[in-house]
Amino acid sequence: MAFPWRSPGSRPLVIAHRGGAALAGENTAAAFAAAVAAGADAVETDVRVTADGALVCVHDADLLRLAGDPRSVAALDLATLRAVLPGLLTLAEAIAASAPLGLLLDVKLKDARVLPGILGAVDTQDAGGRVLLGLRDTALIVAARALTDLPVLAFAADPDGAAAARGVGADWFRLWQGDLSGERVAAVRAAGLRLAVMVGQPRAEPLPGYPPFPVGHVDGDGLARIAQCAPDAVLLDDPRLLKVGTPSTARHAPVVSPG
């Protein structure tokens, strides 16, 4: 059964950021399982490539934050990465572990050569009905559109880039919580795009005008303001905040790596 990426319902989809990083280790099978138990609709995970060509689910370009190791993901082979990060998932493993939830793949790379491998992994597990491709580059969206009809979320750097994203084939547009405004939401809607809101700070160093929480974290006031914009999806570390209204446990958490 297809996940409603193309036709979300009256309430926003709850997407567990980095698999549900407030629930267990980020981008791990444990986080995915906890997200299911917490009532999330979907999980988001990050995709990078190792030195030996394996697709893996790691957010940062290097291992410094997660393991105190300055080496980059791209410079290490899969076996070495597994030794440093025991909970590491390959993309194939993440696709299997995320079922039956929706799966947002945040592709951290801009090289179109990564796309066939990602699409092949999705096809191998017949997971196309659950997947939303998150792409960060206009050219990459164009390349994806030549290969697949999977829905695409534009992780655009420009919060005013909705029309441009739609012009190259995106179906969704991401706005950071701090960039929300009536005008921008209207522009997303006018472009015919679905709106996904990412909570928290977009940078390790807090930006003026943004909520005083790290990426993925939010309080009740922030959720209330987001709700006024009627988004189609919200990305946050703790899906319980939207499912059952529990208090945020992240209010005093330190700012961590940007989303």
| Cβ proximity of 143 and 83 under 8 Å | no
Residues 107-111 have a mean pLDDT of 96
pLDDT of residue 203: 80
Q: What is the pLDDT of residue 9?
A: 87
pLDDT recorded at residue 10: 87
Give me the half-sphere count of Cα atoms (radius 13 Å) on the Cβ side of residue 77.
2
Helices 138-145 + 115-124 axis angle, to 10: 50
pLDDT score, position 218:
95
Task: Say which residues have a Cβ less than 8 Å from residue 192's Cβ, sequence separation at least 6.
Answer: 166
Give the residue-averaged pLDDT of 97-118: 97
For the cut 90, the answer to whether the pLDDT of residue 205 exceeds it is: no
Task: Work out the pLDDT band at 210, boundaries 50, 70, 90.
Answer: confident
For range 92-104, the mean pLDDT: 97
Residue among 141, 129, 258, 177 nearest 12 (CA): 177
pTM for the structure as a whole: 0.93
- Please give the mean pLDDT across all residues of the chain: 92
Count the neighbouring beta carbons within 10 Å of the beta carbon of residue 192.
11
Task: Select from 206, 221, 218, 222 the least CA-distant residue to 258.
Answer: 206
Q: What is the predicted pLDDT for the residue at 209?
A: 80
What are the beta bridge partners of residue 106? Answer: 46, 134
At 58-91, the pLDDT tens digits run 999 999 999 999 999 999 999 999 999 999 999 9
Q: Compute the average pLDDT of residues 206-213.
A: 84
Model confidence at 22, pLDDT cuts 50, 70, 90, reads very high
Tokens of 122: 């999705």
Domains of the chain: 13-242 (3.20.20.190)
Listed range (3-7, 77-81, 185-189) with the worst mean pLDDT: 3-7
Give yes or no for residue 44 having a pLDDT over 70: yes
pLDDT computed for residue 250 by the predictor? 36
Are β-strands 69-72 and 62-63 bridged in parallel, bridged antiparallel, or unpaired? antiparallel
For the stretch 242-251, pLDDT in tens is 874 443 333 3
Instruction: Report the candidate in 154, 122, 126 with the shortest Cα–Cα distance to residue 139.
Output: 154
pLDDT number for residue 211: 86
